[in-house]
Structure 1
Amino acid sequence: MDRRSFVLGSIAGLAGMPGLVTTAAAQAYPGKPIILLCPFAAGGAGDMLTRAAADHVRTKRNVAAGVEYRPGAGATIAPAQIAKAAPDGVTLGLYSISPFLTVPHLQKVPYDTLKDFTYISIYAYVPIALYVLAGSPLNNWSDVVKFAVDNPGKFRWGTSGVRGAAHIATEAAFRKETARTTFVPFAGGADAITAMLGGHIEAVVSADYGPQLAAGKVKLIVLTGSEKLASQPDLPTFKELDYPISTEAIYGLFGPANLPRDVVSYWDAATREMMATDEFKTVLKTASANPVYMNSADFTANVTQNYRKLGEAIQSLGFNIK
């Protein structure tokens, strides 16, 4: 698999890497307590994968590391804070594609995806799915499309982030099917799931389905990307269905621009160590996630290419509403 084109199944691109600066202070890293900012509410896949990184360095490297939550605003609050942070590795965050690759094309954000960050490493991906309650009469994607077309506006759905990749990709799919649906905004995937369990919406599109799927409370209908789900290989993907945008959720670590090389190397090594542990494999299983590794160079190239290509796709679909 080409790590640089991974995530946007229908979009490809180019490479680039911001300069990394070595400083004397970085040689003593970490030295101070570290905060990892999670751009989502507690309880979802993003939460689990942020805590996995913090837990690993705390238990295996004896480093004081904690997680703080910054949900809302299309998951842009954490990146905005990190863009202004000192480049010392004390404040880092969980990377997910929406606040970097889609939201900046749709609304003004106080950061530049290509200039304001150091992309450290990627360590997991989750196929984003549209899912419904286990007892729903909608059993497959054809059922969903037919219901949405026959009942304009009555199919209500939410995501883990407004104007995120899952939102845009799903809206593009419904448009191609000429289905008029009702999108309901939520601060995080856990909130959207709660609303669905309460009968307030019909479906959720997110990567947060793992625990609910394991408990038999939801059923998956379609995957928004190009990668198949090993446990349900018959589920269709947006790429197979030839929809305009197909995207997975990838997760990793990022920091402010110009992080010292020693900081990047520290977290790259910690990431690779973590991925080999039984604890991390348990987290992956719980989150219905899969391991995927990218170093800083490949990660940066992935962001560069997909930011530009996804921006072109959003504009061509008429979603650019800045």
Structure 2
Amino acid sequence: MNRRHFMSAVAAFAAAAPRISFAETPPYPGEKPTMIVGFSAGGAGDIASRVVANYLKAARGVVLTPDFRPGAGGTIATDQVRRAPADGSVVSLFSVSPLLVAPHLAAVPYDPSRDFTFIASYVGISVPCFVRSDSPFRTWDDLVDYARKAPAKLRWATAAPRGLAHIATDAAFRTEKVTATFVPFKGGADAVTALLGGHIEMVVSSDFGPHLAAGSVRLLAETSPNPSGSLPGVVTFAERGYPIAIPASYGLFGPAGMSPELVTWWENVIGEMTGSSAYADFLKVINGYALFQKSEAFTSMVRGAYTALGRQIDAMGIRL
């Protein structure tokens, strides 16, 4: 997303947020909050944090300040959350990689199963498998059949080596008894450029929106449990019964020990936000889908996903 589109999206979110009487709503039951974001400003993580901050200010009169702390794939910011007080003064943007993948692959100073309070998730990101629109692979089964008959001939890539999409797709290929060649790239844009140039046959990434709109790519399968699987010919990893079908989601989490009162307050605000027009605009901007989970369901998803990813990482032999 370029800077102009990003700033237009932020302005739209702020304008669409509701204006209600703060006297009608319960005050924030904690210290003035800061939202730690483990990524640089200007990307999808920035938009995912600002839609919450803008809604919170408009609907509750509470100023939530995003604090961008990029580095080490989000693990530095995640450890800062671990060390923060549990008084509501610090919450953070949840994303899969630093919490569910990184602890299996590197020495990090936190344990996702005990060091955090998982407050609520509020959006899933579509991460489909796609090919060029002129590819001979019309369906996911076409691609799998080719890879089975021609071992290692199929070349594919993701936005991030050893990320969720890489692990999930490798698990799918293993289930299908397929051998394919993974080609590492620095990011999704580079991988898509290689696909469009004919250097690889498939990409698994969230960087598909403009190319799908332009008719230059075709979606075959969706790695997460939901959304693009509703399109004709697109299957989901969940419906195929593949080992990893975890939503690439954004949400809120905080330090361990946050009070039930704080968690409930945030659950209510996030739940209200997902019914707003600002939220609907947000989904369109980031190619996302509605995925609201309260703390109990969110925590259960995180723990189950962490275990499943660990098993697949061991099967791939990439644990450090």
TM (norm. structure 2) is 0.75
Instruction: Write the distance in 1 (CA, Å) between the matches of 2:40 and 2:240.
Output: 29
For 1:5, the equivalent position in structure 2 comes to none
Deviations 1:51-106 (A, max 9, x none): 22122123333314225262653x43432332233334333222223332333223
- What secondary structure sits across from 2:57 in the alignment? helix
CA displacement at 1:232 relative to structure 2: 0.4
2:123 touches 2:291 (CA, 8 Å); kept in 1? yes
The reply on whether 1:118 has 2:151 as its aligned counterpart is: no
> Which amino acid is 2:66 matched to?
G
What is the aligned partner in structure 2 of residue 68 from structure 1? 68
Q: Does the aligned pair in 2 maintain the 1:98–1:163 contact within 8 Å?
A: no
Quote the residue 2:319 is aligned against: 321
Secondary structure of the corresponding residue to residue 249 of structure 2: strand
Higher mean Cα deviation, 204-213 or 216-225? 204-213
For the 8 Å contact 2:229–2:235, the answer to whether it is kept is no
Contact 2:224 2:238 in 1 (8 A): yes
Shift of 1:36: 3.6
Residue of structure 1 equivalent to 2:184: 184
Q: 1:121/1:204 Cα in 2 relative to 1: closer, same or farther (>3 Å)?
A: same
Counterpart of 2:173, as a letter, is F
**Gap runs ≥5 in structure 2:** 1-26
Deviates more, 1:47-56 or 1:273-282: 47-56
Greater Cα shift, 194-203 or 215-224:
194-203
- SS at structure 1 position matched to 2:203: strand
CA distance in 2, matches of 1:130, 1:280: 26
Question: What is aligned with 2:224?
Answer: 225
Structure 1 segment 224-263 matched on structure 2, within 5 A: 224-227=223-226, 229=228, 231-263=230-262
Per the normalisation by structure 1, the TM-score is: 0.75
Confirm or deny that 1:284 pairs with 2:283.
yes
In structure 1, how many angstroms separate the alpha carbons of the residues matched to 2:132 and 2:112?
36
Alpha-carbon distance, 1:243 to partner: 3.1
Q: C-alpha displacement at 1:194, in angstroms?
A: 6.0
Once residues 42 and 200 of structure 2 are traced to their aligned partners in structure 1, the CA distance between those partners, rounded to angstroms, is: 21
Query: What is the distance in 1 between the residues matched to 2:41 and 2:317?
Result: 26
Please report how far the alpha carbon of residue 254 of structure 1 lies from its aligned counterpart in structure 2 after TM superposition.
0.6
The answer to whether the 8 A contact 1:92-1:254 is kept is yes
Distance (Å, rounded) in 1 between the aligned partners of 2:189 and 2:85: 31
Bigger Cα displacement from structure 2, 146-155 vs 261-270: 146-155
CA distance change for structure 1 residues 190 and 274 in 2, over 3 Å: closer, same or farther?
Answer: farther
| 5+ residue gaps, structure 1 | 1-25
1:30-69 equivalence runs, <5 A: 30-31=31-32, 34-39=34-39, 42-44=42-44, 46-62=45-61, 63-66=63-66, 68=68
Partner of 1:124, secondary structure, is strand
Q: How do 1:18-37 residues align onto structure 2 when only pairs under 5 Å count?
A: 29-31=30-32, 34-37=34-37
Give the Å deviation of 1:242. Answer: 4.1
Percent of pairs identical after alignment?
Answer: 37
* Aligned-residue RMSD, C-alpha: 3.3
CA contact (8 A) 1:211 1:287 kept: no
More helix by share: 2
Counterpart position of 2:292: 293
Residue by residue over 1:281-313, the C-alpha shift from the partner in whole angstroms, topping out at 9 and shown as x without a partner, is 111133332222222222222222332344334
Give the secondary-structure state (helix, strand or coil) at the position aligned to 1:66: strand
Give the 3-state SS of the residue equivalent to 1:293 in structure 2: coil
Q: Aligned partner of 2:115: which letter?
A: D
Alignment partner, residue 204 of structure 1: 203
Instruction: Note closer, same or farther for the CA distance 1:298–1:309 as it changes in structure 2 (3 Å cut).
Output: same
Deviates more, 1:222-231 or 1:197-206: 197-206
* 1:99 and 2:98 matched: yes
Instruction: Please state how far the C-alpha of 1:222 moved relative to its aligned partner.
Output: 1.1
Does the Cα contact within 8 Å between 2:75 and 2:108 map onto a contact in 1? yes
SS in 1 for 2:165: helix
Assess if the C-alpha contact under 8 Å between 1:125 and 1:292 holds in 2.
Answer: yes
| Contact 2:35-2:93 at 8 Å conserved across structures | no
